[in-house]
Amino acid sequence: MSATAGAGRGAAERPILRVLNGEALSPPPAWMMRQAGRYLPEYRAVRAEAGSFLDLCYNPDFATEVTLQPIRRFGFEASILFSDILVVPHALGQDVRFVEGEGPRLDPMAGRAEFDALIEAGDPRIMRHLAPVFETVGRLRAELPAETTLLGFCGAPWTVASYMIGGRGTPDLAPARSLAARDPALLDALIDRLVAVSTEYLVRQFEAGADAVQIFESHAGALPDVPAGETGDALARWSLGPIARMVSGIRARVPGARIIVFARGSGLDGHARVAAETGADAVGVDWAVDLKALRARLPASVVTQGNLHPETLIAGGAALDAAVDAILEATAGTPHIFNLGHGITPQTPIPHVERMLARLRG
């Protein structure tokens, strides 16, 4: 089955799709990473009713509801599917659980035996496991306002692999970096497997009704070293190269697919390489990058997204106003999607989100 990106009703007029097609809008359209989340009381109510976090992700009724909540409250121009990057290793057969107050926990993949067990899971079974996610996408497209872009997503292979190997997120990703040092071929094999599964996963999201997708390389700032004696650099080998294969594979089946890549922690140089080396339509920009300097290094047609520090949103007031203004100045006349430089945090006051949008749209 094939799909055409942005083929839904009203797609041509969706502001974020217009920007992803290279149009500079003023003011730029907006959404927030983790916009459906714990800072909203209505989310917390549904989360309590759902039970476990994975039950929330896999229940289309609950997942649809929490995805729609920030659209109803704030009128963001994009809605992003409520799910988690770790549903992919869960579908592969790895035990995944979320511990309250601590985050995700997986049974670590320590070596070849664990990898061989994971790859025995056939692709049809994997996609059957993820079927509730695709049902949620379909429901969202039917229920969202016609002008609202629906974003799907997944984690990039390196980021997902780091959780699979380490069993949890760690500041320096030492378990995954250690595996790369002692058995780089095994890490390559795991990343190849994730490229294939994640490509299929995003294609299915497009087929279900997603207008565009974002690939989250949340751990681009902690890549392993390239093995001694081998050429190339870490960002290309472990991150941008695998993402490029995903982008190519998606577009082979979804002509015109619009894809955002967020390589958090890759620095100014890394961000400047994203579009050229992956084929992405838009570069997600973390809060640590000088957005004006990045725009100076990018072709005018390349879309940028993000850059507002989540802590500035927590601070609010004049500091928030100034930060919004600085982003608008840095991206004036270029295609940009307003967003944070990382996900919104649970302690963010709702009035600060309202102030941010009023300043942006004012």
Binding residue ranges for substrate:
34-38, 84, 163, 218, 342
* Annotated catalytic residue within 18, 84, 139, 237: 84
**9 included as an active-site residue:** no
Rounded CA-CA distance 279/258 in Å is: 10
Rounded CA-CA distance 143/37 in Å is: 19
**38 included as an active-site residue:** yes
Contact yes or no for 199/207 (Cβ under 8 A):
no
30 three-class SS = strand
**47 included as an active-site residue:** yes
233 three-class SS = coil
**168 included as an active-site residue:** no
Phi-psi region of 76 (alpha: psi -120 to 50; beta: other; left: phi over 0): beta
Of 3, 163, 172, 168, residue with least CA distance to 88: 163
* Annotated catalytic residue within 39, 43, 163, 201: 163
Contact yes or no for 27/332 (Cβ under 8 A):
no
Residue 186 buriedness (CB in 10 A; 0-12 / 13-18 / 19+): middle
Structure tokens of 15? 């502001």
**264 included as an active-site residue:** no
* Annotated catalytic residue within 14, 47, 141, 273: 47
Residues 6+ apart with CB under 8 A from 139: 60, 64
Which of the residues are catalytic? 34, 38, 47, 84, 163
